Structure 1
Amino acid sequence: MQTFNGRLALITGGSSGIGLALAHRLLAEGARVALLARDGQKLDQARARLLASFPQGEVSLWRADVANAPQVTTVLQTLLEQLGAPDLLVNSAGVARPGRFEDLPLDVFDQMIAVNYLGTVYVTKALVPAMLERGSGHIVNISSVAGFLNIYGYTAYGASKFAVRGFSDALRMELKPRGIGVSLVFPPDTDTPQLAYENQFKPEVTRALAGSAGVLSPDAVAQEILRGIRRGAYVILPGFETKVIYLLSRLLGAGVNPILDAMVRNALQKTRANQNLHRS
């Protein structure tokens, strides 16, 4: 897909963050944009922001909870009837709730799988038949750096993003011979409302491990995604640090574990030292 002009792009989680940044860039290139999210007020606000920049842009709003399969099926059937099959589907809806395994309630694990993984499956399932019938299209699934190298504090979130990776690996093989491309994105920490929410719950060790890594802007991630689609890339790695971490994890395999263990030990020591300092 070398041009987005006149193409229809459906973006889940499109009312904020990476999804909204992608909508902005796609409108700038002449695409027609459909945003899907569960919060109607945020959808309205997103549309207003987009049309303030692109008054002639075409932005349609679709309200659904991606974790609700019947709702997704019904809403997207209406979209297909009114707009036709999207040329580009971006599964960007996602939630993150870190915490040590023993502290996380089971419903957090349910939520991570329901939104991050099954939400991606439900939306894709509803649209792929129409894309196959047309014989073209491109699907972008948003995973995370934690989807290829999980760390302390992300037993729930990282596992759901690994599931997105596994789903995408098989989906790519099935759809590529039939004219539909698939891309898998591994963004690092990105300056979004979701990150602000997530930071409230990060264990100190997780915070220390992530402390040296940079935070990307949603627009920088969106730019990398569109560049990757144009290249026909399967794996898209926004940011230099993400590319380095991915390469090292691939080269070292399980050999990366001693490095991570040393980082955890160091983070635990610093955490204990800070706790002792506050007590004294």
Structure 2
Amino acid sequence: MILVFGKTGQVARELAPLLPDAHFAARSEADLSRPDECAALIRTLKPVGVIIAAAYTAVDKAEDEEELASHVNGEAPGAIAAACAEAGIPLVHISTDYVFAGEGEYAHQPGDEIAPPNAYGRTKAAGEAAVRASGADHAIIRTSWVFSPHGNNFVKTMLRLGSERDSLRIVADQIGGPTPAAAIAEACVRSLAAIAEDKALSGTYHLSGAPDVSWADFAREIFSQAGRDVEVADIPSAEFPTPAKRPLNSRLDCSSLERLGLERPDWRLYLKPIIEDFAAS
């Protein structure tokens, strides 16, 4: 049995049909703000592998709640990883492009120096470090701009706003790869099996959708596929200030995925079901 921390998040919900026999631990059973509780669950259930598909993801709120975010994103993955190392089982942990400063126009490679620009990024970087230090066989999967038919995300926000307005001003100087949660879920399953088979595959991987675009161009594609006549005006990040600084460059070099038999997904192919679901709601 595989243990998944998380039950209602975007990736966890995409994992459910892929892992019908897995145990999905909701917050009521294993609260990541109480790391020891999470480690204890591993010792109780004795799974053959673990996937951490839950996190503190409120990027702006983390600026005021960094201590809580640190428990969830930093200490909990470390405790879970230590329990996995103790049990001799593999672990998959999802991280973020926000561990990088986000400068330049190059695609960040897994081994590049990190410099988180905000509290959320700092807490996720701490989680990565704790997983690596634990000695557990692991795959850390950094991803970006996650979307799915579930929960709150950019695609659903654009569809909602596009039904209310005929023009929108969208940030155009932040560039990255929108990533379907379904592709992340597939990568989690594939990497867990891969490192269980070959410990040499332990390490850090990048997974983001292709092609890289700005938020504004992402929005244009959403409206195009949805058949919405919404004018998108490009604006700089400076005109849309947020409590947490966002990286301008979220490009990720995903060539390491080849070691797992995976490739970058074309995010444009994943929009249709979300659009259809929104139209039916």
Identity, % of aligned pairs? 17
Q: CA deviation at 1:159?
A: 0.2
CA offset digits 1:97-121 (Å, max 9, x no partner): 33399xx32xx10111011111212
* Matched-pair contact (CA < 8 Å) for 1:9–1:34: yes
* Matched-pair contact (CA < 8 Å) for 2:101–2:117: no
* Matched-pair contact (CA < 8 Å) for 1:69–1:122: yes
TM-score by length of 1: 0.55
Stretch moving more, 12-21 or 91-100: 91-100
In structure 2, what is the equivalent of residue 186 of structure 1?
142
**Aligned counterpart for 1:118 among listed residues 68, 75, 82:** 75
Matched, 1:17 2:6: no
User: What's the secondary structure of 2:66's corresponding residue?
Assistant: helix
In structure 2, what is the equivalent of residue 162 of structure 1?
125
Q: Aligned partners of 1:93, 1:242: CA distance in 2, in Å?
A: 26
In structure 1, what is the equivalent of residue 247 of structure 2?
none
Matched, 1:222 2:185: yes
In structure 1, what is the equivalent of residue 220 of structure 2?
none
The letter of the residue matching 1:72 is C
CA offset digits 1:32-60 (Å, max 9, x no partner): 30111214xxxxxxxxxxxxxxxxxxxxx
Q: CA deviation at 1:195?
A: 4.3
CA offset digits 1:53-105 (Å, max 9, x no partner): xxxxxxxxxx12122144335544432xxxxx21111122101233399xx32
Q: Aligned partners of 1:210, 1:185: CA distance in 2, in Å?
A: 25
Higher helix share: 1
Query: How large is the Cα RMSD of the aligned pairs?
Result: 3.5
Name the larger-Rg structure: 1
Q: Aligned partners of 1:169, 1:70: CA distance in 2, in Å?
A: 18
Q: Assess, with a 3 A threshold, how the Cα gap between structure 1 residues 168 and 69 changes in structure 2: closer, same or farther.
A: closer
Matched, 1:142 2:94: yes
In structure 1, what is the equivalent of residue 109 of structure 2?
none
Q: Aligned partners of 2:131, 2:36: CA distance in 1, in Å?
A: 22
Matched, 1:37 2:7: no
In structure 2, what is the equivalent of residue 59 of structure 1?
none
Q: Assess, with a 3 A threshold, how the Cα gap between structure 1 residues 69 and 238 changes in structure 2: closer, same or farther.
A: closer
Q: Aligned partners of 1:150, 1:119: CA distance in 2, in Å?
A: 26
Q: Assess, with a 3 A threshold, how the Cα gap between structure 1 residues 88 and 153 changes in structure 2: closer, same or farther.
A: closer
The letter of the residue matching 1:157 is Y
In structure 2, what is the equivalent of residue 128 of structure 1?
85
Q: CA deviation at 1:143?
A: 1.1
User: What's the secondary structure of 1:24's corresponding residue?
Assistant: coil
* Matched-pair contact (CA < 8 Å) for 1:99–1:153: no
Q: Give 1:219-258 correspondences, 5 Å limit.
A: 219-232=182-195, 233=201, 234-240=203-209
Q: Assess, with a 3 A threshold, how the Cα gap between structure 1 residues 139 and 210 changes in structure 2: closer, same or farther.
A: farther
Q: Aligned partners of 1:243, 1:228: CA distance in 2, in Å?
A: 23
The letter of the residue matching 2:23 is A
User: What's the secondary structure of 1:165's corresponding residue?
Assistant: helix
User: What's the secondary structure of 2:146's corresponding residue?
Assistant: coil
Structure 1 unmatched ranges of 5 or more: 1-7, 40-62, 80-84, 176-180, 200-206, 245-264, 273-280
**Aligned counterpart for 2:34 among listed residues 68, 87, 90:** 68
The letter of the residue matching 1:38 is R
TM-score by length of 2: 0.55
User: What's the secondary structure of 1:222's corresponding residue?
Assistant: helix
